[in-house]
Structure 1
Amino acid sequence: MKNILFAASEGTPFIKTGGLADVIGSLPQALNNQKDTEVRVILPLYENIDHSFKEKMTKITSFEVPVGWRLQEAGLYKSDYDGVTYYFIENDFYFGRQGIYGYFDDGERFVYYSRAVIEAMPYLDFDIDILHAHDWQAGLTVAFSNIMQPKPGMKTVFTIHNIQYQGWMTPQAFNDLMNIGAEHYPGLEWHDMINSMKAAIFHADKITTVSPSYAEEIKQPYYGEGLDPLLNERSPDLMGVINGINTDDYNPSTDPHIAAQYTTSRVKKKENKVFLQRELCLEENPDIPMYVAISRLVEQKGFHLLERVLEEFLQENVQVVVLGTGDYAFEQSFSYFSTRYPEKMATILKFSEPLARQLYAASDFFIMPSKFEPCGLSQLIALQYKSIPIVRETGGLKDTVEPYNEITGEGNGFSFANYNAHELLYTMRYSLLIYSRPELFKPLIANVNRSKFSWKDSAKLYSGLYDELV
Structure 2
Amino acid sequence: MNRVLFATSEVYPVVKTGGLADVSGSLPEALCRSGYDVHILLPGYPSAIAAARKAGSRRKARFSIGQYDVSLWRTRLPGTAVTLWLVDCAPLFDRPGNPYQNDEGEDWWDNAHRFHLFARVGVMMAMGRAGLSWVPDIVHCNDWQSGLIPALLNSCHNRPGTVFTIHNLAYQGLFSWDMFRALGLPDSLWRLEELEFHGQLSFIKGGLVFSDQITTVSPGYAREIQSPEFGYGLDGLLRHRQARLSGILNGIDTRQWNPEDDEHLEFHYGKDHLKSKVQCRTRLQQELGLEVNGAPVLGFIGRLVEQKGLDWLLDVMPPLLERGCQFALLGSGEARYEEPLKRLARGWPEQVSLTLGYNESLAHRITAGSDLFLMPSRFEPCGLNQMYSLRYGTIPVVHAVGGLKDTVFDPSEAGMNAANGFSFRDPDAASFLEAIERALDCFKSRKTWRRLQANGMSADYSWKQSARHYGELYQEILAQRQPSLQA
TM-score > 0.5, shorter chain as reference: yes
Q: Which residue of 2 aligns with 1:97?
A: 95
Question: How far apart are the structure 2 equivalents of 1:178 and 1:230?
Answer: 25
- In percent, how many aligned pairs have the same letter? 37
Letter in 1 for 2:174: W
Give the Å deviation of 1:407. 5.1
Letter in 2 for 1:365: L
Contact map agreement 1:291 1:321 (CA 8 A) in 2: yes
1:254 aligns with 2:250: no
Residues 164 and 316 of structure 1, relative CA distance in 2, 3 Å threshold: same
Residues 273 and 467 of structure 1, relative CA distance in 2, 3 Å threshold: same
In the TM superposition, 1:68-467 aligns within 5 A as 70-81=66-77, 82-99=80-97, 100-101=99-100, 102-120=107-125, 121-122=128-129, 123-149=131-157, 152-180=158-186, 182-186=187-191, 187-264=194-271, 265-285=273-293, 287-405=294-412, 408-467=416-475
| Secondary structure class of the residue paired with 1:250 | coil
Residues 206 and 296 of structure 1, relative CA distance in 2, 3 Å threshold: same
| Secondary structure class of the residue paired with 1:230 | helix
| Secondary structure class of the residue paired with 1:49 | helix
Contact map agreement 1:14 1:50 (CA 8 A) in 2: no
Give the Å deviation of 1:329. 2.5
Contact map agreement 2:61 2:132 (CA 8 A) in 1: no
Of 157-166 and 328-337, more deviation after overlay is shown by 328-337
1:7-34, CA deviations, whole angstroms, 9 ceiling, x for partnerless residues?
A: 1111122222111111111101101111
Question: How far apart are the structure 2 equivalents of 1:178 and 1:383?
Answer: 48
Question: How far apart are the structure 1 equivalents of 2:68 and 2:86?
Answer: 15
Residues 205 and 79 of structure 1, relative CA distance in 2, 3 Å threshold: same
Residues 427 and 388 of structure 1, relative CA distance in 2, 3 Å threshold: same
Contact map agreement 1:48 1:98 (CA 8 A) in 2: no
1:34-58, CA deviations, whole angstroms, 9 ceiling, x for partnerless residues?
A: 13x2211111111232623333322
Letter in 2 for 1:53: A
Question: How far apart are the structure 1 equivalents of 2:185 and 2:227?
Answer: 34
Question: How far apart are the structure 2 equivalents of 1:391 and 1:93?
Answer: 42
Question: How far apart are the structure 2 equivalents of 1:236 and 1:388?
Answer: 36
Contact map agreement 1:39 1:84 (CA 8 A) in 2: yes
Question: How far apart are the structure 1 equivalents of 2:234 and 2:415?
Answer: 42
Contact map agreement 1:111 1:178 (CA 8 A) in 2: no
Residues 396 and 74 of structure 1, relative CA distance in 2, 3 Å threshold: same
Give the Å deviation of 1:408. 4.1
Q: Which residue of 2 aligns with 1:4?
A: 4
Give the Å deviation of 1:451. 2.4
Question: How far apart are the structure 2 equivalents of 1:351 and 1:60?
Answer: 34
Letter in 1 for 2:71: G
Alignment RMSD = 1.6
Residues 220 and 446 of structure 1, relative CA distance in 2, 3 Å threshold: same
Of 251-260 and 21-30, more deviation after overlay is shown by 251-260
| Secondary structure class of the residue paired with 2:393 | coil
Question: How far apart are the structure 2 equivalents of 1:381 and 1:135?
Answer: 23
Contact map agreement 1:14 1:53 (CA 8 A) in 2: no
Letter in 1 for 2:402: G
Q: TM-score, normalised by structure 2?
A: 0.91
Task: Give 5+ residue unaligned stretches, structure 1.
Answer: none
| Secondary structure class of the residue paired with 1:133 | strand
Give the Å deviation of 1:346. 1.9
Task: Give 5+ residue unaligned stretches, structure 2.
Answer: 101-106, 479-487
Contact map agreement 1:320 1:345 (CA 8 A) in 2: yes
Residues 175 and 189 of structure 1, relative CA distance in 2, 3 Å threshold: same
Give the Å deviation of 1:167. 1.0
Question: How far apart are the structure 2 equivalents of 1:460 and 1:113?
Answer: 28
Residues 228 and 154 of structure 1, relative CA distance in 2, 3 Å threshold: same
Q: TM-score, normalised by structure 1?
A: 0.94
Letter in 2 for 1:38: D
Q: Which residue of 2 aligns with 1:39?
A: 38
